[in-house]
Amino acid sequence: MQHPYDALQPETVIDSVESQGLICDLRIYPLNSYENRVYQIGIEDAPALIGKFYRPERWSREQILEEHRFSSELRDLDLSVVAPWQNSAGDTLFEHAGFMFALYPRQGGHAPETGDLDQLFSIGRALGRIHQLGKQSDFQYRPRLDIKSYGTDSRQFLLDNKFIPDELIPAYDSLSLDILQRVEDVFARSSAKWIRCHGDCHIGNILWRHDTAHFVDFDDARMAPAVQDLWMLLSGERNQQTEQLSEILEGYREFCDFDTAEIQLIEALRSLRLMQYSAWLARRWSDPAFPKAFPWFNTERYWAEHILSLREQLAAMQEPSLQVF
């Protein structure tokens, strides 16, 4: 079966870039991206650009443009956010050969060190400024992070499409229901406000260079509680996560208030991400890039380990949340 990205050949990438009046020098390097197709593209007499070709039928034009406006507003506040390139008419989203695409300046750097408290403090300051703007208005077209899309729909897709081995279905069926009930209980107790967030703020989407955190890939930007952009930066044992979160919040609070009651959402959000990630891989399994990149997925061992992770999350949601001041 053909996949829509089969039509995205090198000449299509070149023609797309040149449709915007740029001259490609024919150097095209695919970058690690699976949801979309992303390339570093050489431009004659100018720095290379990054071309993102959006997965067909994932986002609407309005949703993509709303994300572009958000990242551009952040850039205009002198935040180090990699926002889309604009043509002479001020457009940021283009279409060629059936693909919507955007171009971005190339940003160098490396992933931050999660154990480096000075770096986490700087990242916290930047996130405080991002959320300061994020609170000023809501997304109109982009989605909310909610239990249905991340949890309930993910669970149902996996069960309906028979990805889980038969012998493991009873365990997954009952455990995932318990997880969702616990998540609903945690959300019901929360008074957190949903704001415009990066949405996928893990260290792979932050490039550290010249003592500055550069934020990239706002492709998953959505309405979410502020803590959604903080918890994926935490790692290690409980005492280490407490220290890391305290450092992030010390920087964050220089620019934006943070309701510490949101910390109780961390394990619930982690649980939803685990469920959504497995369903994301399953939904994309017909894309030839996915079996190559994730050969360990959809094996009996994978599902057994996934169920074990969900059990650990169910236990984690019953423990006291991290305590910071």
The residue from 200, 219, 220, 229 that is catalytic is 200
Alpha-carbon gap, residue 185 to 136, rounded angstroms: 28
The DSSP secondary-structure symbol of 29 reads: E
CA distance 9 to 6: 7
User: What is the chain's alpha carbon radius of gyration, rounded to the nearest angstrom?
Assistant: 21
CB atoms within 10 A of CB 6: 10
Separation of CA 229 from chain center: 9
Structure tokens at 235: 């790692």
Nearest alpha carbon to residue 135 among 176, 219, 195 = 195
Beta-carbon-side half-sphere exposure of residue 13 (alpha carbons within 13 Å):
26
Contact status, residue 260 vs residue 5, Cβ threshold 8 Å: no
Per DSSP, the three-state class of 101 is: strand
Distance of CA 192 to the CA centre of its chain: 20
Alpha helix positions (H), the chain: 10-18, 61-76, 117-134, 147, 153-160, 169-189, 238-252, 266-283, 289-293, 300-316
Pick from 2, 316, 268, 247: nearest CA to 151 = 268
Choose the catalytic residue: 91, 153, 217, 220.
Answer: 217
Tell me 226's DSSP state. Answer: G
Active site residue 200: yes
Distance separating alpha carbons of residues 26 and 10, to the nearest angstrom: 9
Q: Is 160 a catalytic residue?
A: no
- Show which residues are catalytic: 200, 217
